[in-house]
Amino acid sequence: MTDQAPDSKNRSATYIVSGGASRLGAAFVRRISKAGNNVVIGDLDESAGAKIAGEFDESVMFCRCDVRRDEDLAGLVQCASDVFGGLDGIVNNAVSYLDNGITSSRADWHAAFDVTLFGGAVLLAEALPLLTESPSAAVVNVASIAAKVAQRNRALYPTAKAAIIHLTRLQAVQLAEANIRVNSVSPAWTWSTPIELATAGDRSHADSVGASLHPLGRIADAEEVAEVVNFLLSPDSSFVTGADFPVDGGHSILGPDAGHALQGQLQK
C-alpha cells in the first residue's frame, strides 16, 4: 500500500487520532505511524496516551484533549501545527458508551452525543484552515455496524453512530471542492477496550460468543480495522469519499437482529 503523500514543503504527513489511547485508537496510531506519518494522539487518558506515544520516536506525540471542550480541540490542532508544521487528516475515534436505551434522560443524550458526534464535528471545523492547505487531506470518522440495525436495550450509541455516517456524507460533499476526502468505517464486534473489559480479557470467550454474529466465525482484531482506516487516509483511496466501509466479518449480511440473544452472554 502506498505511504501517505507529503506536502509541497516535503514534510511527512500528519494525522490526529482522537480517542487514540484506547485499544482501537492505539491500533490506528501504530498503523498510521508505520506508513511513515506523524501522529498526534488526542485523549483524556494521559497515562495511556503517553505510554503509546512512548513506543515511537518524536514522530508521535500525545496531547491531552477533552473533545467536549472547544479549546481542547483547538489546542489539539495547534499541537499538530506547532510540532509538525501542518495537518493532513483526522481519525475521529472518541466515543461515549453511556447508554440507558430509550429511557435515557435528556442529559444522557447530550452527554453521549457531545463525545461521540459533536466532538468530531467541531474538531474537523477547527482543523479546516490546515486541512485546506494539504494537497491530499483525508478524514475518517469511526462509526459502527450498530448504526445500521436496531438493537435491544441501546439507543444513544447506535443513534450517534448513525448520525456519524450521514455527517460523513455531508462533510464529503461540502469539502470535495477543497480536495478533502471524508469517509467512515463501521466495525462490528472488535477486540477493543469495552469488549476486553466485558470479558475480563478473555479473547477466546469473545470469539465464541461473537461467532454466530459474524460469518467469519470470530470478532475483529483492532489491527484489521486500522488497515482500512489507513487505506482511507492514503493516496490509494484518492477517489473515495462519502463512503462507509463495513469492517464486520460479514455481520451486515445476516438477517435482521441475528444473534441478539447472544449479546448478554458476553459479560463474564
| Whole-prediction pTM | 0.90
pLDDT-derived band at 10 (thresholds 50, 70, 90) equals low
Task: Assess if residue 8 is contained within a domain.
Answer: no
Task: Assess if residue 149 is contained within a domain.
Answer: yes
Q: Mind listing the pLDDT tens digit for each residue in 230-259? A: 999 999 999 999 999 999 999 888 865 554
In which domain, by residue range, is 42 found?
14-189+222-252
Assess contact for 138 and 89: CB atoms under 8 A: yes
- Just list the catalytic residues: 157
Task: Assess if residue 37 is contained within a domain.
Answer: yes
Domain count, the chain: 1
Buried b (16+ CB within 10 A) or exposed e, 135-166: ebbbbbbbbbbbbbeeeeebbbbbbbbbbbbe
Domain holding 32: CATH number?
3.40.50.720
Q: Mind listing the pLDDT tens digit for each residue in 145-196? A: 999 988 889 999 999 999 999 999 999 999 999 999 999 999 988 888 888 8
Average pLDDT over residues 25-30: 98
Task: Assess if residue 105 is contained within a domain.
Answer: yes
Task: Assess if residue 211 is contained within a domain.
Answer: no
Average pLDDT over residues 129-155: 95
Q: Distance between CA 208 and CA 77 in Å, rounded? A: 41
Task: Assess if residue 6 is contained within a domain.
Answer: no
